[in-house]
A = this chain, B = another copy of it.
Amino acid sequence: MTRRNFINSTSASYASLLAWGMLQPAPASALTLPANGRNHDGKARKVIVLGAGLAGMATAYELGKLGYDCTVLEARARSGGRVWTIRGGTKETELNGGTAQSCQFEDGLYFNGGAARIPHHHQLTLQYCRELGVSLQIFNGNNEAAYLYNDGGTGDLANRRLRIKEYHNDMRGYTAELLAKALDQSALDQQLTKEDIEKLVDFLKNEGDLNTAHLYKGTNRRGYKTKGEPGAGPTPGDLTDPFGLTDLLRSGFMQPVFYNVGDYIYEQQTTLLQPVGGMDAIPKALEKKLADKIVFNAPVTELRKTENGVRIVYQKEGKPTELTAEFCVCTLPLPMLKNLESDLSGTVKRAADFVPYIKTGKIGLQFKRRFWEEDDWIYGGISRTNMDINQIWYPSFGFQGKKGVLIGYYNFYSRAEAVGALPVAEREKLALNQGAKIHPQYPTEFDNSFSLAWHRIPYSGGGWATYDDATRRKYYPTLLEPDGNIYFAGEHTTYLTAWMAGAFTSAHRAVEAIHARVGQYTKK
């Protein structure tokens, strides 16, 4: 990444880059100059970073560039936090009596247990990928060929799978027809001129694929009959009939579980990206940059303020070990901060207590063949249902390979709580039974599984911060200010909660704040 590109496209950090002197040409020898992160005695200022997730590692990486001496304490044996790719050999035992799992996926198969997509507008994440040499590929979020399944409903469209394209194009068709009718009936004459009405009707004819009478009578956009695709010779294709509007309206597919989380919203719009080989390519690349700066298997137990800085106690091979520094950047998820012995202020402690974290879970299911591709023509994307499994994610990589891993459930809130409370064998059973309603191939093709409930994962304790207006107003501002020499970072200190971009932007913000505080550095 060139300096210019970095600057052009990082709106938030332009000021900070100026501050950091990155706009100056590099000095002939950096060591001959007082480094930005050094004290007047020339020694590097010490910073302890809690957590080797993206926020913590990015903080240490950027502070390191400025000459600070960072130590990152990480409770786990791995980096990445909630950026975690599950593959053969991955081991985990959940809190509250979880069963030990050891993943049995075949080589090359995996799923992203946590963060799983990068929106094209999350430029800071994408810039880090560029800077760190992480290769990207498309994450196929919106697949018109994936399924909707309304379980337990009534009517013709309940308890059966239908393609998203069938639902989408029928609804577009009927609503276009209805609006065209209202316009034809002059019901909206006060809104629009005659000329505009004509133009709008033209639009609706395209939008809904209406016939010349402005009626929706089906469209090839919703697909052809099975074995009725257009082909060679005298076979132009057999169209399918549209569903009835009343059936569609009573289908239940307007519920947010099917729709609202879907295709249009900003964070899930095309284009989405993912690293080639798994999301943990990002933390692994950052970890590499930090060489010996990360102490693994080092859970923090105490977080203390001292006269000139901070004192941290962590467990080293089971023994309490102390570390002091001028600053601390704490990126621990709030459910973990809650458990710490600390001198943190009451308002920070209350934030840790009361900012809600989402319960969420996923299961990866390995199948003997990629039947969703071979039989169902589904290459990536997401099927949605109101069953406990909620979403099925098809992999956006390894297309047409022999075996495959799909995400058999991705659920939230009460569904995730209920499923996450089950023993892993029961979760697998539930995923297979419910998934088989959408994919009858499940029972014969299933190999093995690995499941996780983020609210039960040690050192995470939840999916991500889920502020509502009240908690955002009440607790969020506290986390934006340092508490003594302790700064906070992580997705929970941003308006990009749940996203890796939140971790990265929060790291930049913490670095800027510390650097501003230590004051002027010697300009070249």
Nearest-Cβ distance from residue A81 to partner chain B, whole angstroms: 17
Q: Which residues of B contact A259 (CB under 8 A)?
A: 206
Given A220-B266, A227-B11, A266-B220, A188 contacting B178 (CB threshold 8 A): yes
Give residues 125-149 of A contacting B (CB, 8 Å): 126, 129-130, 135-138, 140, 142-145
- Cβ of A191 < 8 Å from any Cβ of B? yes
Taken together as a complex, chains A and B put the C-alpha atoms of A506 and B227 apart, in Å, by: 16
Known: A138-B396, A200-B249, A231-B509. 14 other contacts (CB 8 A): A11-B227, A11-B229, A12-B229, A121-B223, A121-B377, A129-B400, A130-B400, A175-B175, A175-B176, A178-B183, A233-B493, A233-B506, A234-B477, A270-B381
Q: Which residues of B contact A203 (CB under 8 A)?
A: 171, 175, 249, 254
Q: Which residues of B contact A234 (CB under 8 A)?
A: 477, 480
Given A120-B145, A493-B233, A138 contacting B509 (CB threshold 8 A): no
Segment from A72-80, A301-309, A412-420, A494-502 that makes contact with B: A494-502
Q: Which residues of B contact A381 (CB under 8 A)?
A: 270-271
Given A196-B250, A232-B496, A221 contacting B266 (CB threshold 8 A): yes
Q: Which residues of B contact A182 (CB under 8 A)?
A: 178-179, 182, 187-188
B230 and A374 contact, CB distance less than 8 A: no
A126 and B273 contact, CB distance less than 8 A: no
- Cβ of A212 < 8 Å from any Cβ of B? no
Give residues 493-524 of A contacting B (CB, 8 Å): 493-496, 502, 505-506, 508-509
Give residues 174-199 of A contacting B (CB, 8 Å): 175-176, 178-179, 181-183, 185, 187-188, 191-193, 196, 199
9 A-B pairs with C-beta separation under 8 A:
A120-B145, A121-B224, A137-B137, A138-B140, A165-B269, A169-B264, A178-B179, A206-B256, A232-B509
* Number of chain A interface residues as a range: 35 or more
Nearest residue (CB) in B for A379 is B271
Nearest-Cβ distance from residue A261 to partner chain B, whole angstroms: 10
Partner of A494 from the list B142, B206, B233, B264 (CB cut-off 8 Å) is: B233
A273 and B11 contact, CB distance less than 8 A: no
- Mask for A265-309, Cβ within 8 A of B = 1, else 0? 110011101000000000000000000000000000000000000
- Mask for A10-21, Cβ within 8 A of B = 1, else 0? 011000000000
A231 and B196 contact, CB distance less than 8 A: no
B493 and A138 contact, CB distance less than 8 A: no
- Cβ of A341 < 8 Å from any Cβ of B? no
Q: Which residues of B contact A232 (CB under 8 A)?
A: 12, 489, 493-496, 502, 505-506, 508-509
Nearest residue (CB) in B for A490 is B232
Q: Which residues of B contact A254 (CB under 8 A)?
A: 199, 202-203, 206
Q: Which residues of B contact A245 (CB under 8 A)?
A: 192, 196
- Cβ of A8 < 8 Å from any Cβ of B? yes
- Mask for A231-256, Cβ within 8 A of B = 1, else 0? 11111110000000110011000101
- Cβ of A322 < 8 Å from any Cβ of B? no
- Cβ of A96 < 8 Å from any Cβ of B? no
Partner of A495 from the list B236, B375, B377, B489 (CB cut-off 8 Å) is: B236
